[in-house]
Each structure stands twice: as structure tokens, then as C-alpha cells.
């Protein structure tokens, strides 16, 4: 039976390396059913879910891992990134604050929307230079000034 699990894990790792994340997640989920305490399998499953945009499932597994090991900084980082990708910045910021406290590394706070909100207020707008076609060319298809112009149309 152990040989079968080893083969399942090897196949799932291979699928993950080949960027076949959905297939890897399916294999890892089956494996996790038979080995629910296997943290390595659960972490790889989380990564497969994340890369295949199954963010709710990734969050579910990460919540389970946080419950088992609340001081695991890697799990907190993965949870923060998963929440950010779902557009849940305030919840992600909480995880990043916990992560910074666990590691003593305040750089984890830099990615929170709360810490970056001042950038939008203080950044000067960038003036765009007007488009100038090279000599001998007219504006048409593909130029920034005339995105709707088709072949043979002049501005």
C-alpha cells in the first residue's frame, strides 16, 4: 500500500512540475484522503490549488494548516498571498502582520494595501509624451493615437 502512495505522490509531483496544476491537485487530494496528517502533501496541494486559481480550496487547506501549526510562517505567507489574490486585502494584511510578528521581518508589511495606500496620494501623475509617427509614416492601425483606425484610414 505504501508503494502505491509513493507512486501517487511521485505522479502528483511530476504533474506539478509540468505545470498541470489541476491534475496535480486531483491526485494530491486523493492522496490526502488516505493521509490526512501529511503536511507535505497538503502544502503541495495548496500550491497546486493556488496555481490553478482554485483559491477557495487553497484557503480551506491553509486554514486547516494554520489550525495545526499557528506559528508556521510559510503557511501564513501562503494564506496572505491567497487572500490578496482573492482581493481580500484587509484579511491578507492581518496575516501579514502576524507573519511579521512571527519572523521579526517588517518587510512582510510592505505588501499590505494599508501600507501602500499612501503611494497613490503622494505619487505625481506622469505626463505622457504625445505620439509622433516617424517621418514618412501616417497614423493608422496600431498607433497609440488611433487605436480604432483600420487599414487605409487616415487621421
pLDDT tens for each residue of 10-38: 999 999 999 999 999 999 999 999 999 99
Tell me: pLDDT of 142 over 80: no
Q: What is the pTM of this model?
A: 0.70
Q: Give the chain's domain count.
A: 2
Residues 6+ apart with CB under 8 A from 133: 139, 143
Residues 8 and 49 in one domain: yes
Residue 110 is predicted with a pLDDT of: 79
Residues 40 and 91 in one domain: no
Residue 2 is predicted with a pLDDT of: 81
State whether the Cα torsion 45-50-56-58 is positive or negative: positive
Residues 6+ apart with CB under 8 A from 140: 146, 149, 150, 151, 152, 153, 154, 155
Domain-terminating residue out of 37, 57, 77: 57
Query: Is 78 in contact with 85 (CB distance < 8 Å)?
Result: no
Residues 38 and 7 in one domain: yes
Residues 42 and 81 in one domain: no
Decide if 111 is inside a domain: yes
Residue 18 lies in domain: 1-57
Amino acid at each position: 500500500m505504501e508503494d502505491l502512495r509513493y507512486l501517487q505522490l511521485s505522479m502528483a509531483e511530476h504533474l506539478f512540475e509540468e505545470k498541470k496544476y489541476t491534475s496535480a491537485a486531483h491526485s494530491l487530494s486523493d492522496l490526502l484522503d488516505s493521509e490526512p496528517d501529511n503536511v507535505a502533501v497538503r502544502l503541495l496541494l495548496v500550491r497546486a490549488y493556488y496555481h490553478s486559481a482554485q483559491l477557495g480550496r487553497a484557503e480551506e487547506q491553509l486554514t486547516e494548516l494554520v489550525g495545526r501549526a499557528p506559528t508556521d510562517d510559510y503557511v501564513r505567507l501562503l494564506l496572505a498571498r491567497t487572500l490578496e489574490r482573492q482581493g481580500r486585502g484587509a484579511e491578507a494584511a492581518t496575516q501579514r502582520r502576524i507573519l511579521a510578528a512571527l519572523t521579526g521581518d517588517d518587510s512582510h508589511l510592505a505588501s499590505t494595501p494599508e501600507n501602500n495606500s499612501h503611494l497613490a496620494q503622494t505619487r505625481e501623475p506622469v505626463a505622457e509624451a504625445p505620439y509622433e509617427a516617424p517621418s514618412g509614416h501616417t497614423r493608422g492601425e496600431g498607433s497609440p493615437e488611433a487605436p480604432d483606425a483600420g487599414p487605409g484610414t487616415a487621421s
